Amino acid sequence: MILPAPIDILPHRDPFLFVDEITALEPGVRASGTWTLTGDEAFFGGHFPGRPTLPGVLMCEAIAQMGAIAVLTDERYAGKLPLFGGLDKARFRRQVSPGDTLTLEAEMTRLSARAGKGSGRALHDGEVAVSCELMFVIV
């Protein structure tokens, strides 16, 4: 199976597209991919000067984008837009810096015609950097 490019599925665009590559996909169920931080991202300049650190909330957004890929590749949701409805149990466990590559994983635990839930994590070098549960509405 040839995997699509994230830009062909997600409505996000630079500078807010945080998935570089899809590495595994089961439409409507789960998706995995990567995001490589170049160090040129604008947020590193202010977060934090002298010790650039990827904001945890952006890692949660990257996981949500991975979840959106799982949802939007399910033909029931083609052309729809999943929007963040909530974030629970977020745990930040590891600092991520310029040059690091995150492995992003998202799994849908409930999908209906109008909303859903899922969970995911971002890993660096096999260690969990962040994990969270996601809720979203579909418009």
Q: Which of 127, 53, 67 is nearest to 96 (CA)?
A: 53
Strand-pair partners of 133: 88, 119
Per-residue pLDDT tens digits for 31-73: 999 999 999 999 999 999 999 999 999 999 999 999 999 999 9
Catalytic site residue from 12, 17, 29, 47: 47
* CATH number for region 25-138: 3.10.129.10
Judged by phi (left if over 0) then psi (alpha if -120 to 50, else beta), residue 125 lies in left
- What pLDDT, on a 0 to 100 scale, did the predictor assign at position 16? 96
Whether 1 has a pLDDT exceeding 80, the answer reads no
12 belongs to the catalytic site:
no
Which tokens belong to 110? 């409930």
User: What's the start-to-end Cα distance of the chain, in Å?
Assistant: 29
pTM value is 0.97
Structural contact between residues 119 and 107, judged by C-beta atoms closer than 8 angstroms: yes
Gap between the Cα atoms of 38 and 36, Å rounded: 6
Q: Look at residue 80 in the predicted model and tell me its pLDDT.
A: 94
Digit-coded pLDDT (tens) for 83-120 = 999 999 999 999 999 999 999 999 999 999 999 999 99
Query: What's the pLDDT score for residue 94?
Result: 96
